[in-house]
Structure 1
């Protein structure tokens, strides 16, 4: 397998970030980590916007042996870049042109366009909403929690079909792929958005089994220890996390207005 010469991941302990760190660890690729400090609005600084013009995480910079630099933003694009360039054995992917390859793309794009944005809004209204109007927050929570549940039902149904038709525990084909990792990063935050994983038995088993894989566990702890399950169940930790999120969202909003 070709290995990166100089690969840096710019990330934080958020769903989109751990999608990429788990992929890098599972493929056992060498890389450096640069933790982005949201509290300091580091993601808005000019140097970082040169890497990721959207001012979000994650992003990667890949410098080859000739010194050629490639910057990639957007977690879905990064996952595909990593597997296209560094996964010739298809440990986390499927051969280009195969049926499984296009199914993998379907679920990566489904997550990027659906589960991530909807669950992200559920998290915002439940944990970070700064509106003084309680009706606004209540509407947002109801709207996006319901949509997140619907999307998790789609995943539950997919896993049931995979088990019945392929005897597979994964979203695509017969082994773990970036389709699973794209969704895992978000499903692990289910309790944080007020959804109990026990509502979806197959999805609960799926996330527990994948998270227990040693290399995946290592990736979840990048750049800091993964503790969202503990935080979601501890009122004081949850209060602290919500306050921190509200603070940087407010700062970020003010900076973007300028």
Structure 2
């Protein structure tokens, strides 16, 4: 049987199936990137819920795997050269899983870097900006009398949606006909912006018809529907 006892995180979240990839996460936009990816590629995994309500992400066990105390993180017992592979940062995990499975990231170097640039676009722009809109529109930021921060992040989010909308014009997915990790990274954040963050009207989401069309196609995928609920 695979032995993961050298990793302190397994003492707080014991692995019932240590031969499977271990996922430590929550169903947030960043978290579901990885669960959706795992469902898409069909790799067996075991999901562990990292509860923010009890500050699990700040526990020594979780910090031993991700010193940045953010979800998601993984522990793959069958990593490179057969050695266990601990990994954090959702974008890095998507690339790792794509390389491991040979799926959802093109082999052709030109197309591969096209996918990676849109992955970085999500990580450097869409995630941080949409998250700020959520803070100022739904959470503690609502208490601020000064509306300039919200206005700034809404304007930047609209600009980013415009970039996405233009890229998706005449395309099924960000890379064209081929669904990829760029889409898996991006559309959970679009869903969250107009759903959980309740900012659809703020960003005039109906004006971005290519984005909404592709979001619906994304949400119709069975693997996406499963991944959005992980961990339960």
* TM interval, short-chain normalised: 0.7 to 0.9
Matched, 1:153 2:162: yes
1:210 shift after superposition: 1.3
Gap runs ≥5 in structure 2 = 1-17
Identify the structure with the greater helix proportion: 1
Q: Quote the Cα distance in structure 1 between the aligned partners of 2:221 and 2:138.
A: 30
Q: Quote the Cα distance in structure 1 between the aligned partners of 2:185 and 2:25.
A: 15
Change in CA separation of 1:141 and 1:193 when aligned onto 2, cut-off 3 Å: farther
Between stretches 170-179 and 72-81, larger displacement belongs to 170-179
1:96 shift after superposition: 4.7
Matched, 1:63 2:66: no
- Report the equivalent of 1:199: 207
Which of 220, 226, 230 is 1:218 aligned to? 226
Which of 166, 170, 174 is 2:173 aligned to? 170
Residue deviations 1:47-88, cap 9 Å, x none?
00011110011111111288732111111000000001122x
Between stretches 106-115 and 186-195, larger displacement belongs to 186-195
Q: Quote the Cα distance in structure 2 between the aligned partners of 1:77 and 1:193.
A: 29
Gap runs ≥5 in structure 1 = 225-258
Matched, 1:95 2:126: no
Q: Quote the Cα distance in structure 2 between the aligned partners of 1:19 and 1:32.
A: 15
Change in CA separation of 1:194 and 1:130 when aligned onto 2, cut-off 3 Å: closer
1:7 shift after superposition: 0.4
Q: Quote the Cα distance in structure 2 between the aligned partners of 1:173 and 1:209.
A: 14
1:126 shift after superposition: 1.3
- Report the equivalent of 2:186: 183
1:173 shift after superposition: 3.7
RMSD: 1.9
Q: Quote the Cα distance in structure 2 between the aligned partners of 1:42 and 1:120.
A: 21
- Report the equivalent of 1:248: none
Q: Quote the Cα distance in structure 2 between the aligned partners of 1:24 and 1:61.
A: 13
Matched, 1:105 2:108: no
Counterpart contact for 1:23–1:178, Cα < 8 Å = yes
Which of 55, 68, 78 is 1:41 aligned to? 55
Counterpart contact for 2:134–2:193, Cα < 8 Å = no
- Report the equivalent of 2:9: none
Counterpart contact for 1:145–1:193, Cα < 8 Å = no
1:5 shift after superposition: 4.0
Could you tell me the TM-score, scaled by structure 1's length? 0.76
1:140 shift after superposition: 1.9
